């Protein structure tokens, strides 16, 4: 059994492929390797080259494994279906070209849900028909990823989307074949939503195929929830702090993983605002050092 630690372009402020504030993709690879990681996620499809020869040569140059990729698209919006499928197909092709395993599905932030991030009791819910259509769109992409491309597909709860809070995540899990759809547990988003990621892991380790490591500053979390701050504004206020400085108990996370015989990747995702005067390389080093200090 071996737990491997990777990082992701969102730790360098890369959320959307066409954001002019993004750093250069090769610099992200270089800094990821320099900070001590052996793997990296794809980031939003289109940020890294979609030419497999070009990206493959760079991954080899920096000694990095491509771990997986995220489809962060509006599954909740039937009018955006072509966008969802386009993002999923391009991501799958990129992952398969480099031997990556993990396809992660995230319902992106909805204007209907963004104001209630972290406030489960106030969040608008889909009606029965809307939920069924939403679930079926997730299943369609999961089937494509698993059956056409041979990837391990997982669902990731995310603040401000329609899979945010534990009851929504567990409802989806109960309605979809566990052989088709696994869980990518993000420790930070789970805490943001108001739940204990360790307790969730203890109940669902048999379905967790992949982990995102993120920590939450409890003081900032309390403030942004009280003020109904938007997700990206909360990132700018530093809600996602360095690992070990927030309210996620990573020692307990490690114990659950080890007790379950988890064998695979855990990827650091410290979402940050690229306009702030921060050093993603310093944060990446600090996060790798912290994880090493507790046995990862």
Task: Give the pLDDT confidence score for residue 256 in this predicted structure.
Answer: 98
Q: Strand pairing of 208-213 and 182-186?
A: parallel
Torsion 48-49-52-57 (CA) sign? negative
Residue whose tokens read 């760079």: 58
Q: What is the pLDDT of residues 115-160, one digit of tens each?
A: 899 999 999 999 999 999 999 999 999 999 999 999 999 999 999 9
CB count within 10 Å of CB 57 equals 12
First to last CA, the chain: 12
pLDDT at 1 over 70: no
**pLDDT: which is higher, 26 or 275:** 26
H helices of the chain, where? 25-34, 52-62, 81-97, 128-143, 166-175, 187-192, 197-204, 218-227, 231-236, 250-259, 280-293
CA atoms within 13 A on the CB side of 244: 15
The span from the CA of 88 to the CA of 96, in Å, is 12
- Mean per-residue pLDDT over the chain, rounded: 96
The span from the CA of 29 to the CA of 40, in Å, is 8
What pTM, to 2 d.p., does this model score? 0.97
CB count within 10 Å of CB 251 equals 11
Q: Where in the chain are the domains?
A: 3-293
Q: What is the pLDDT of residues 230-255, one digit of tens each?
A: 877 888 888 999 999 999 999 999 99
Residue whose tokens read 């402020």: 13
Task: Give the pLDDT confidence score for residue 115 in this predicted structure.
Answer: 87
For the domain made up of 3-293, the CATH class stated in words is alpha beta
């Amino acid at each position: 059994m071996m737990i491997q630690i990777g990082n992701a372009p969102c730790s360098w402020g890369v959320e959307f492929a066409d954001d002019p504030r993004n750093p250069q993709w090769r610099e992200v690879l270089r800094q990821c390797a320099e900070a001590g990681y052996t793997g990296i996620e794809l980031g939003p499809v289109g940020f890294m080259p979609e030419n497999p020869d070009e990206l493959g040569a760079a991954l080899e140059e920096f000694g990095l494994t491509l771990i997986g990729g995220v489809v962060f698209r509006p599954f909740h919006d039937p009018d955006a279906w072509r966008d969802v499928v386009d993002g999923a197909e391009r991501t799958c092709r990129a992952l398969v070209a480099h031997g990556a395993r993990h396809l992660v599905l995230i319902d992106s932030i909805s204007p209907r849900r963004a104001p209630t991030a972290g406030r489960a009791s106030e969040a608008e819910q889909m009606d029965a028909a809307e939920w069924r259509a939403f679930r079926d769109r997730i299943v369609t992409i999961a089937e494509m990823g698993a059956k056409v491309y041979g990837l391990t597909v997982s669902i990731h709860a995310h603040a401000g989307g329609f899979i945010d809070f534990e009851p929504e995540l567990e409802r989806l899990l109960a309605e979809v074949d566990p052989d088709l759809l696994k869980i990518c547990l993000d420790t930070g988003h789970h805490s943001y939503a108001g739940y204990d990621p360790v307790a969730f892991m203890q109940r669902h380790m048999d379905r967790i195929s992949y982990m995102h490591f993120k920590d939450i500053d409890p003081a900032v979390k309390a403030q942004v929830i009280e003020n109904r701050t938007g997700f990206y504004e909360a990132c700018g206020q530093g809600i996602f702090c360095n690992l070990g400085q927030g309210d996620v108990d990573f020692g307990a996370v490690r114990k659950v993983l080890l007790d379950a015989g988890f064998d695979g990747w855990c990827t650091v995702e410290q979402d940050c605002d690229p306009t702030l005067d921060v050093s993603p390389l310093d944060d990446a080093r600090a996060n790798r050092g912290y994880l090493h200090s507790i046995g990862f």
